[in-house]
A and B are shown apart, each in its own frame.
Chain A
């Protein structure tokens, strides 16, 4: 498995020349439960890289490792040449200023309106004059199609709109790397299409690197340059969407085709159904 992951990282390196983020032999556990057991991933600079996998495989944990919110128990997480775990508070915050992240629920600040949410990083990190802040914020809101919603409060926005505002906020500092945590979850088809196109167009127009954690195979296949499928704490497959669709592994097939049962079982481990129903057992 490790050999195939190394080969994956090597082939990606050859294809892209360089990587913005590299995870090497990452081990991470929550309590006694291992989440990653020797994870190897290479994020190509300028690419849209999809991280997929069944629920509970640690996709969001992977993002938290990349952003330095948590640190690996073993292995390296290198972002733009810097070992994230070894960075001090100031260096980590300097690195984060070059990142943008779209949270699953948008994570907009509920006491600020749309305009102020987008302006928030600018006000915190720059001393730009008010007029320039206004111009930058309106430009970013226009890019996500919500310039007209600048005065609304977060609670007045639909799920799709909130995510687009969060996207405008994520790109307001012109980051080098944009991270999306489940960007399509809970969106109607129109909003999903809008967000999908935005991810691609922003990646190309701003020349950034995008990492997208998602379950939505069909949508991400249309825009991803490279995809990784995680399961059991490891990368079980990687490659272009087409390569993954043709992958012979049963677990990749189950995931890509959305079968309810397979290597990832439908049922949580349980005693025999008949015995449990008819037996003398008590309680649950």
Chain B
């Protein structure tokens, strides 16, 4: 019994230590951010890496998520004779929940793992140490642009995901099931408010900060071995997914 308690205490201690290190790391990034925003070329490069290179997966998944919503939504709404409301339901679900959350999960899987493994490999091959010896702060030169790139890219990817998903819903509802196109769009325009769009974008931004932070933190602090880089990459996906869902609940509770 004592052994279990000791193990529990050790686990909590290790968690708090890790969390403290993450908080310090985030604090340092925030402190460096004003200077980092001036390095436009590095920022554009990283927005391209985290954003543009994730577009294909975001658009593909967005389309299919939208089409599934179209099928399921139509099946449900036609039972109560409200298939015209499919556009509204889909738009609100995508804007407030599905869009930011699914984009964050996809972002963690594509851009997050790329960031973590890249930084981990830079650590393992002494590239970060070499920068320190060259009197170049890797936090400023390498970590910050990648973090900011992710933070900027996530809301943009969320918007793309939502737009493509809505197209997918429309494709199924209007083109396939023959829901009235005018009703579909006009009901959506009438019901969706600016606050709904704001909620989605705020979530996208917060998830972008969380997922990018976790990715760069795990990569930067990876053990300099093949196994260490692998573990950092895995942790990035797992922790990002869990944190995204927890944050989603908190943000929803605050904004509803």
Q: Enumerate chain A interface residues (CB-CB to B < 8 A).
A: 67, 69, 93-94, 96-97, 99-101, 103-105, 107-110, 120-121, 124-125, 166, 169, 173
Contact = CB atoms under 8 A, between A and B. Distances in A.
A69 B129 CA distance: 8
Contacts of A93: 135, 137
Interface of B: 121-122, 125-127, 129-137, 141
Question: Closest 6 CB pairs between A and B?
Answer: A107-B130, A107-B126, A93-B135, A96-B135, A101-B133, A97-B135
B125 A110 contact: yes
Contacts of A99: 133
Contacts of A109: 127, 130-131
A104 B125 CA distance: 10
Contact of B134 (A69, A105, A120): A120
Contacts of B121: 110
Contacts of A104: 126
Interface centre among A67, A99, A124, A125 (most CB of B within 10 A): A124
A107 B141 contact: no
A68 to B, nearest CB: 9
A232 B218 CA distance: 35
Given A105-B125, A105-B126, A107-B127, A121 B134 contact: yes
B126 A69 contact: no
Contact of A124 (B122, B130, B133, B141): B141
Contacts of B131: 109
A69 B141 contact: no
Contacts of A110: 121-122, 125, 127
Given A107-B126, A125-B135, 8 more contacts: A67-B132, A97-B134, A103-B126, A103-B129, A107-B129, A108-B127, A124-B134, A125-B136
Interface centre among B121, B122, B127, B133 (most CB of A within 10 A): B133
Contacts of A121: 134-136
